[in-house]
Amino acid sequence: MAGSTYGTNFKIMTWGESHGVALGVVIDGCPAGLFLSEADIQPYLNRRKSGLSDMATPRKEDDKVEILSGIFDGKTTGAPISMMIKNTNQRPLDYQAIADYYRPGHADFTYDTKYGFRDYRGGGRSSGRETIGRVAAGAVAAKILSEIGIICTASVKAMGIIDKKDDSVGGVIECKISGVPAGIGEPVFDKLDAALAHAMMSIGAVKAVEIGDGIGAATAYGSENNDSFESIAGKIVKQTNHSGGILGGLSDGSEIILRVHFKPTPSIAATQQTVDRSGQSVSINIKGRHDPVIVPRAVVVVECMAALTILDAMMINTTSKLENLIRFYHPTASDEK
């Protein structure tokens, strides 16, 4: 199954299933010399943990991370970092009933069509629990970014009202990234906003991503949407930030702002119509432990995917100018000139 890796220089691969033995992630490309321990990762995992409120699934997992490789004497070695989170409360029998029919809003039909079979235990790789590996890796990326003054912060912007019996709602998460210098990103096909959109759309249940004014820009005048420049203390800055911190696919030095739109959780107890694998119509009521809304728990996922994307772009950018290579490998050359 392809599609489980993300990144170019700071590359991650998530693995594991919702009701398997464990889930985890392998990070390839983390620089050596970063002080790192489970204590740096665990707070992020705790933020996405289930069973902490009435808005989350009652499934309770410890979600304790174990670092298996890539660390020596408390610091990263440059070798791949493997992290594992064991499933301690899996109940695959809860999903036995759905083995032969396709749940509306889920990936059951598409996975079955593509691979000829599917892991129906909570959705397997398409389960929201897959994001635990992203969060573990994102915690590492966030720590590296903090060393260079870049902070990613996400929060719930909007959410549906949870008052429908046996139903679910969606919502919007806003992410702000501060401290990113101008010129980060690659033109044309690898624009920074395209990379961020790719990262966010890879999260299950995400159906739309906005950068800056987003869809509002489509109904604005150019005179309203353009950000005028000015010079303050010798530094060129924008007077407004309708662009959301990105121009021409490159960061412009302003705060990067994006909003991520999530659909309602597809697993609901209300009666729905579907078909089984033979095409016969059936009425279903999905049982099990599900979130009526996933938005609060997805905040840290959005934050971590943003951190992974920005860090990778920063690392790629180190080769954008010859002077960067000279400064790193032959620092006295500029003095000699």
- Domains belonging to the chain, first-starting first, are 5-336 (3.60.150.10)
96-107 exposure pattern, b = at least 16 Cβ within 10 A, e = fewer: eebeebbbebbb
Q: What is the maximum alpha-carbon separation in the chain?
A: 79
- 117: exposed, middle or buried (C-beta count within 10 Å: 0-12, 13-18, 19+)? exposed
Q: Tokens representing 330? A: 């032959």
**Tokens 């599900």 — which residue?**
290
DSSP string, 118-164: ---STTGGGSGGGHHHHHHHHHHHHHHHHHTT-EEEEEEEEE----S
User: What is the Cα–Cα distance from 316 to 65, expressed in whole angstroms?
Assistant: 29
- What string of pLDDT tens digits covers the 337 residues of the chain? 789 999 999 999 999 988 889 999 999 999 999 999 999 999 999 999 875 555 555 556 689 999 999 999 999 999 999 999 999 876 666 677 778 888 898 888 888 888 887 777 767 788 889 999 999 999 999 999 999 999 999 999 999 987 787 889 999 999 999 999 999 999 999 999 999 999 999 999 999 999 999 999 999 999 999 999 999 999 999 999 999 999 999 999 999 999 999 999 888 888 989 998 889 999 988 876 678 899 999 999 999 999 999 999 999 999 999 999 999 898 887 565 5
d(CA 14, CA 81): 12
Question: What are the structure tokens assigned to 306, written together?
Answer: 């943003």
pTM as predicted: 0.91
